[in-house]
Amino acid sequence: MSDKLKIRLSFFAALLLWILFAGSNIYLMFVKNYEMKVDFSDLFPQLAFSLFVFFTFIYYRYAITKADSLNFTDLLWKVFIIGLVTALLSLGIQGFFMLFANSNIVKSPITFNLFYDVLVALVIIYTISTLVAWKRLILYQKSKALLRLWRLFEIAFGFALAFDFFGNQPNDNYFIAATLVLALLSLSLVFNLKWVAYLNFRQKWKGILFILLSGAYLYYFLRSLIWFSDPDMLVMDMLDRVFIWGLFGFLFTYAIISILVILFNLPTSSVFEQKLKEALDFQRLSQSVPRAETTDQIYETLIDSAMSAVFANAAWLEIHDNDGTRQVIRNLSEEQVDLIKARIENKFIKDILNLKLRRDATTNKLRDSIKHPKFKSIMALPILVQDEQIGYIVLLNEMSEAFNREMVSILTTFVSQASVSLENLTLIKESLENEHYKEELKIAKTVQKSLLPASLINNKHLIMEAFSIAADEVGGDYYDILEYEKNKFGLIIGDVSGKGTSAAFQMAQMKGIFHVLAREGVSPDVFMKKANLALSKCLDKNSFITATYFNIDAARSKLSFSRAGHCPGLIHCTKDNKVNYLKSDGMGLGILRNSSYDKYVDKTEILYGDGDAILLYTDGITEAKNENGELFGDARLKVSFEKHCDKNPKLIKEGIKDDLSEFIGRLERDDDYTLVIVRFKHNTDD
């Protein structure tokens, strides 16, 4: 059943029952007056009346919807309107009786009873609608216990209706006892007035007015009932009923208590409004992050809400962060701020202003008086982000002792909420930067790849094979080869320390240096000296490059090289089938950035045999770790090379790669590594 249907049905039921009630009353009056002997119980109108009350109650239960904080005054307005209509109608009845005071028509018991029954209907409509309205108010923000008490109260009224069937008179003991029970229950309910707190100043005045008027209607209706009360004329006098006395009593009491409570609450309503505003400000602060506001907006919101929360006359906020110093000032000039700063004597507040927050922050020390022509009170709070003080807020009041302990704690919550917002903003910013860094790495990787030679040399003198892979952290491995003269080759392997794009750019510089110097056919030691000189100007302070540079003279089977701090390569000689290190002294490029470097450069020359092979690599291979944290190391690499050195360069490369991945297991590589293999062949026919 929908609520609408319930409203309609209960309306018609109430109407029908009232007609039955009035009809049976008139009928009973006839029986009494004309002493007719009819088998018709006088309980019938009693029953009709009770059910009429019940259905009226049901009707208003659905017609007057639940109150929420916004429509308390609407609810009271409804009560007022219903009261106005019913009171005007009953005034009409009284007017009728006054107008025809001397005519027979008003002396007729029929007319008298009929009009009385109409009045009863109006009284019940008004009182029941008011009862439901009071119920809504009492049960606003109800507890379980309160709800149970109210149910009991409703049941007690049901019992009162039944009690009245016995026709007790107001002066007997049972009647008084029953009325007392209802009164006690009423008293236990009338002090539930939580709704009053939610009215603002205007609404409180309106409330007082409406409740006063509803009380006036009640008084008027009671007077009317008393005026009609005549045992000789009436079949059923409402004033003989516990129900009616209980109902009026309850409605009156609640009206009076409400008016008194609203009156007492009038002076404090501004406090409640203030609290509500604080809550809203607080919400505004916490919501400023999802809306991705800037830090400046958070500062603005903080200073404004802080000022209104503690009734400050002026304030300023200062932030020192990576972007410099920022000040947000309200009702002050910058000169005034400096003046006030100079006049602060409280050591604790001074510390806050100097961003030297001490851990023993107690609320008492945050506020003090100040010697200033205009401002007498000061309060300062530190603004912390990730446990670091980044700034402070200062509030000023023209009155002395204007700030109390509670204000400090309100402000503390405001500031900490702002701090959370700021922290979140920082986190968002950091993750964006992280994203940016990843993007940068991607670019660096692409650059690095494009710097490696697209094709290697494979001719009758040498067969070359290379492999290079970059880990997440781009380091910058580099290798290259070119033929600077017929059958003369320049070969380089290098490793740039450093990360990201800077490493990739330094690698690009190395490539430039290689292509200039190698084309000139300079000897390896000269190459390193010149390269060091060139790199000294452009490498980062804590960056360096390790490299080994080779000159290969295929016609003479001569290999000369200089090692600049790079891990020494290996050579496999077919003659004695042994693997040896390509030893040479040397120092990394960029370590010494002046001519003193030159004395540390060495050059080694060897003659190679037909089929000899060299293995060059970067430290990513020897420093690759397995699950136990062991390094692959020089020894394992040497063994691996010995194992595969008879094969062609491509298979040597694959063999070493396999040995390496077998060693490190399923662990991810955390460094770049590069392998270069060159096999020499004797070819003297040209």
Partner 1 sequence: MTEINKENKEDIHLISVKGEIDAGSSILLDNAFREALKNNKKKIAADLSELEYISSAGLGVFISYLEEFSANNIQLVLFGIKESVKQVFDILGLEKLLLIVKTEKDAMNAFDD
Which residues lie closer than 8 Å to 228 by C-beta, 6 or more apart?
A: 112, 116, 119, 234
Spell out, one character per residue from 625 to 664, where the chain touches partner 1: x when CB under 8 A holds, - when not: ------x---------------------------------
Question: Please, which residue, 171 or 542, has the CB nearer to partner 1?
Answer: 542
Are 402 and 376 in contact by the 8 Å Cβ rule? The answer is yes
Q: Based on the shown chain and the rule CB under 8 A, indicate whether residue 532 belongs to the binding site for partner 1.
A: no
Q: Which is nearer to partner 1, 463 or 493 (CB)?
A: 493
Nearest alpha-carbon partner for 564 in 492, 672, 479: 492
The two tokens of residue 205 are 């005045």
Residue with tokens 């060693």: 663
Site for partner 1 in 219-278 (CB under 8 A): none
Of the pair 118, 591, the CB lying nearest partner 1 is at: 591
CA distance 245 to 90: 19
**277 vs 599 by CB, closer to partner 1:** 599
Site membership for partner 1, residue 541 (CB under 8 A)? yes
Q: Which of 321, 600, 643, 659 binds partner 1 (CB under 8 A)?
A: 600
Name every residue whose Cβ is closer than 8 Å to that of residue 196 and which is 6 or more positions away in sequence: 204, 207, 258, 261, 262, 265
Nearer to partner 1, 470 or 587 (CB): 587
Shortest reach from residue 682's CB to partner 1, in Å: 32
**Site map for partner 1, 374-403, x if CB under 8 A?**
------------------------------
CA separation for the pair 631, 663 (Å, rounded):
9
With binding defined as CB under 8 A, does residue 494 bind partner 1? no
Among positions 553-582, residues that touch partner 1 (CB under 8 A) are: 564-568
Closer to partner 1 at the Cβ: 257 or 631? 631
CB 545 within 8 A of CB 512: no
Identify the residue among 3, 334, 401, 585 touching partner 1 (CB under 8 A). Answer: 585
Span from 48-56, 227-235, 318-326, 494-502 in contact with partner 1 (CB under 8 A): 494-502
Q: Say if residue 592 is exposed, middle or buried (CB neighbours under 10 Å; 0-12, 13-18, 19+).
A: middle
Q: Smallest distance, Å, CB 545 to partner 1?
A: 10
CA 492 from chain centre, in angstroms, equals 56
Contact with partner 1 (CB under 8 A) among 45, 391, 475, 494 = 475
DSSP 331: S
User: With respect to partner 1, which residue has the nearer C-beta, 499 or 647?
Assistant: 499
Asked if 495 interacts with partner 1 (CB under 8 A), we say: yes
Q: What distance, in Å, lies between the first and last C-alpha atoms of the chain?
A: 109
The answer to whether 220 and 94 are in contact (CB under 8 A) is no
CB of 550 to partner 1, least distance (A): 17
Residue 233 phi, psi dihedral angles, 5° rounding = -95, -40
Exposed / middle / buried, residue 669 (Cβ in 10 Å: 0-12, 13-18, 19+)? middle
Q: How far is the CB of 370 from partner 1 (least distance, A)?
A: 38
Report, in Å, the least distance between residue 453 CB and partner 1. Answer: 23
Secondary structure (3-state) at 639: helix
Closest CA to 54 of 160, 166, 140: 160
Q: How many residues bind partner 1 (CB under 8 A)?
A: 28
In the sheet that 388-397 helps form, which strands lie side by side, from edge to edge? Answer: 324-330, 314-321, 388-397, 377-385, 367-369
Our CB check for partner 1 shows the closer of 219 and 581 to be: 581
User: Which is nearer to partner 1, 111 or 536 (by Cβ)?
Assistant: 536
Least Å distance between CB 567 and partner 1?
A: 6
Structure tokens at 176: 């008084």
619 contributes a contact to partner 1 by CB under 8 A: yes
**Distance from C-alpha of 317 to C-alpha of 347, rounded to nearest angstrom:** 19
Q: Is 591 in the site for partner 1 (CB under 8 A)?
A: yes
Q: Does 592 bind partner 1 (CB under 8 A)?
A: yes
Three-state SS for 615?
A: strand
Told to check if 497 binds partner 1 by CB under 8 A, we report yes
CB 679 within 8 A of CB 460: no
Out of 45, 382, 588, 649, the only residue in the binding site for partner 1 (CB under 8 A) is 588
Contact residues toward partner 1 (CB under 8 A) are 473, 475, 495, 497-499, 541-544, 546, 564-568, 585-588, 590-593, 600, 619, 623, 631
